[in-house]
């Protein structure tokens, strides 16, 4: 029903009044666009989501009445320059104010509870994610050199006075010497420093797979450094600015729910696929189908935001110029498996006690997150859910097919085999494994994606249609989705003649 080609004649003429704004996609970017438009007083808008609930890759659900994050499950306190993210989080009641030094204050229960993380390495669990435990002096020295290098980049400012690695990334320094890092892989960057430590390789590879679904050997060096340098992670900066993790039992679904609450019930619809979009200079026509009933209908809007995955754009939007089609076609996405492993009790561990994030050294997975870690009194009591994450980052087309074609028994077996190395009694405690498969989970920031020519084309408007989602910037982060949605909404406001002060002051003239 959804894959067959659709012509304009397949959809009846639009019957209702023209909308001021149409938003296609109900993930974080689309919801942020709707939030921004309503903030400026635009009420005649409609958000459409193809799924049965809002959230996109921040989707949340429930298992036996327990909240579960099927997608993104945390953010960090945004750095000072992230103006639009600060404004949003204040409006959502996450940031409650600022201290005398300008550091944001958040609701205490949203801060990640201790213990934060642990690493299974050399047969036992160790606190934190430091792979230097038990390493020789040479490898420890390389790890510390890398830590110092990332601190240098955190504090580095370009000749234009901007941070080298800002968040949102469009606020970063425009110095050419920095943007040239986008032409290297992170592995090439490490080797250029003469760092040849397997433990450092693992640490950096883990970070890249965690945030970007992309391996050390694939990811842009600019993106790889950005992970470590955009926030004040280094312990030596702890007193200067917070970089605390914020999380909820339903993960970023908590933020989705609060964003959705800003919309009136008539301002959004789920289970509607937009199959054809015809943008012109003064309006956008959209051909839609209700996936429950098969009914086709049309909408007209004075402005629109496309907040879906950008690889779908060429199949939907008519009249895209060739260079833009080429830029969109160059995007690559990793596939991702999330397994909710329900256990009757915590599996046995040797070494450090259970934490929120439980990482397995050398595994192709990211380990697991304790889904109920944030719930008061939940530790060690009754059934638990361990959320296991497996990014499929290599040979993505083949991995995507395997993710779809291989059955539950195969993937459950993979999960159990991985967990068994750290928990010998895992078979005794597992009661059920539920799977969520993401075919196009995260855009991969390969070399050239962030600052290459395609980056300009990916957020180039098509008539009255603006493009959003974090795919426009190339980093699959909540903050980038927020920025992209707000930027697209402000372009719509300009078309509607709604004068409003920008929330993106960090853009300057860029």
Site of tokens 């800002």: 166
Q: Where are the alpha helices (DSSP H) in 157-242?
A: 176-179, 186-192, 198-212, 221-229
What's the CA gap between 313 and 304, in Å, rounded?
Answer: 14
User: What is the pTM for the complete model shown?
Assistant: 0.96
Q: Return d(Cα 386, Cα 383) in angstroms, integer.
A: 10
The predicted structure's pLDDT at residue 1: 54
**What digits encode the pLDDT tens for the residues 451-508?**
999 999 999 999 999 999 999 999 999 999 999 999 999 999 999 999 789 999 999 8
- Which residue, 203, 10, 8, 214, is CA-closest to 117? 203
CATH topology for 145-242 is Guanine Nucleotide Dissociation Inhibitor; domain 1 (1.10.405)
pLDDT at 376: 58
Q: 497: alpha, beta or left, given left = phi > 0 and alpha = psi -120 to 50? A: left
pLDDT attached to residue 234: 87
User: Which contacts of 282-288 are long-range, i.e. CB under 8 A and separated by 24 or more positions?
Assistant: 282/463, 282/464, 283/18, 283/464, 284/22, 284/463, 284/464, 284/465, 285/14, 286/22, 286/24, 287/6, 287/8, 287/10, 287/11, 288/11, 288/48
Residue 509: what pLDDT?
56
The values of phi and psi at residue 135, to 5°, are -80, 160
CA distance 487 to 493: 10
Q: Which two tokens stand for residue 96?
A: 């409650």
Task: Retrieve residue 471's tokens.
Answer: 């795919």
* Residue length of the chain: 510
DSSP state of 163: B
Both tokens of 377, joined, read: 């009194």
CATH class, 333-443 region: alpha beta
Confidence (pLDDT) at 204:
98
What homologous superfamily is domain 18-59+252-331+446-507 in, according to CATH?
Answer: FAD/NAD(P)-binding domain (3.50.50.60)
The domain locations on the chain are 18-59+252-331+446-507, 145-242, 333-443
Q: Longest C-alpha distance within the chain, in Å? A: 73
Q: Residue ranges of the chain with pLDDT lower than 70?
A: 1-5, 376-383, 509-510
């Amino acid at each position: 029903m959804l894959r067959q080609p659709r012509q304009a004649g397949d959809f009846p003429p639009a019957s209702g009044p023209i909308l001021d704004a149409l938003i296609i996609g109900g993930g974080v970017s689309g919801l942020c666009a709707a939030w921004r438009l309503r903030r400026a007083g635009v009420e005649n808008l409609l958000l459409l989501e193809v799924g049965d609930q809002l959230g996109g890759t921040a989707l949340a659900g429930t298992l036996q009445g327990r909240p579960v994050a099927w997608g993104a499950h945390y953010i960090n306190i945004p750095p000072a320059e992230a103006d639009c993210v600060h404004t949003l989080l204040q409006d959502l009641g996450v940031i409650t104010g600022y201290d005398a030094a300008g550091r944001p204050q958040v609701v205490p229960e949203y801060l990640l509870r201790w213990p934060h993380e642990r690493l299974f390495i050399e047969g036992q669990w160790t606190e934190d994610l430091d792979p230097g435990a038990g390493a020789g002096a040479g490898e420890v020295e390389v790890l510390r050199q890398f830590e110092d290098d990332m601190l240098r980049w955190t504090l580095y400012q370009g000749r234009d006075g901007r941070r080298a690695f800002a968040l949102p990334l469009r606020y970063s320094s425009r110095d050419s010497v920095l943007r040239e890092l986008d032409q290297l892989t992170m592995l090439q960057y490490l080797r250029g420093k003469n760092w040849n430590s397997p433990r450092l390789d693992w640490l950096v590879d883990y970070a890249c797979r965690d945030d970007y679904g992309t391996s050390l050997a694939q990811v842009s060096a600019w993106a790889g450094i950005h992970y470590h340098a955009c926030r004040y992670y280094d312990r030596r900066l702890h007193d200067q600015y917070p970089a605390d993790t914020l999380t909820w039992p339903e993960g970023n679904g908590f933020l989705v729910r609060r964003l959705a609450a800003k919309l009136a019930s008539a301002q959004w619809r789920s289970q509607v696929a937009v199959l054809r979009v015809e943008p012109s200079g003064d309006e956008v026509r959209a051909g839609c189908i209700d996936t429950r009933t098969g009914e086709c209908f049309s909408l007209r809007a004075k402005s629109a935001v496309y907040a879906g995955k950008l690889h779908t754009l060429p199949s939907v939007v008519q009249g895209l110029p060739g260079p833009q089609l080429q830029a969109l076609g160059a995007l690559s996405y990793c596939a991702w498996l999330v397994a909710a492993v329900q256990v009757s009790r915590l599996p046995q561990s040797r070494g450090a006690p259970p934490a929120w994030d439980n990482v397995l050294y050398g595994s192709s997975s990211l380990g697991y997150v304790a889904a109920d870690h944030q719930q008061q009194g939940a530790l060690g009591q009754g059934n638990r859910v361990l959320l296991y994450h497996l990014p499929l980052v290599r040979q993505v087309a083949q991995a995507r097919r395997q993710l779809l074609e291989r059955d539950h028994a195969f993937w459950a077996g993979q999960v159990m085999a991985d967990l068994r190395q750290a928990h010998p009694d895992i078979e005794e405690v597992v009661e059920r494994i539920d799977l969520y498969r993401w075919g196009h989970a995260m855009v991969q920031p390969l070399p050239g994606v962030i600052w290459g020519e395609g980056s300009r084309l990916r957020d180039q408007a098509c008539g009255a249609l603006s493009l959003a989602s974090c795919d426009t910037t190339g980093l699959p982060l909540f903050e980038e989705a927020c920025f992209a949605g707000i930027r697209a909404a402000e372009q719509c406001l300009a078309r509607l003649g709604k004068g409003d002060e920008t929330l993106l002051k960090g853009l300057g003239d860029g």
